Amino acid sequence: MPRTFSTDAPCPVRRTMRKRFPYPVFFICSLITVLSVQTSPLPAHASDTAPSDSLEIGVSYIENVNGNGFHDFWKHGRGVELFAAMPCYCGSVQGGVRILSFSQKVSGIQGFQSHYFYLGLGKKWALAPWLGLHTGIDIGSEQMLFDDRVEGGTNLESEFAVNAGARLICSMRNNWMLNVSANYEVILTHKPIRLVVAGVGISYSFSTPRWVKEFLK
């Protein structure tokens, strides 16, 4: 059975992918990120300066919280996000994977698990000595693993996706942090799938391993 979402038909149907970029949201987020980067001057000899000495890794419980035509066919997804972030000369670099499980709401429609692998740039803002806000944009690959294979096909679909997000960071003891996040992801299918994903979790900051520093030089 065809599986990819579209509101142009009474049930989801597979359609040829057509990338339609959500310009307003990502233009604003890109502008904020670029302006924030410009406020962080580069070292006089950036090429001779070692990468950041800190690396942050984290895990969050996440849940899809918005509602649109997509949710006429699938229930709101819940899952987990794993990420790593490192300050750099242009702000910060962050990468990770966001996993959500969407179970079927309509009989005959397959449920699927979403794996969004991403990499992006952002900026951390200091709101208080113990409180910060990280904003950023990222791009990645959306891997949708369906419950069953289609006849003569596969149970895996891959789409391009873009995301804008913010993460509120509350510092705790011994380099541990509490995070509350919100993300707006657009999966660029023929009819774009728009997901708002909220999360809460923890992260830990530590000294960057030597091999990572050498790799980034």
Main-chain dihedrals φ then ψ at residue 72, nearest 5 degrees: -75, -20
Least confident of 13-17, 70-74, 111-115, 154-158: 13-17
Euclidean distance between CA atoms 138 and 119, whole angstroms: 5
Q: At CA 71, angle to CA 68 and CA 77, rounded to 5?
A: 115
User: 47 in helix, strand or coil?
Assistant: helix
pLDDT in tens, 88-139: 877 889 999 999 999 999 888 889 999 999 999 999 899 999 999 999 999 9
pLDDT in tens, 81-92: 999 998 887 788
Euclidean distance between CA atoms 122 and 37, whole angstroms: 8
The fold of 23-37+54-216 is Porin (2.40.160)
**pTM for this prediction:** 0.76
Residues linked to residue 96 through DSSP beta bridges, in sequence order:
83, 118
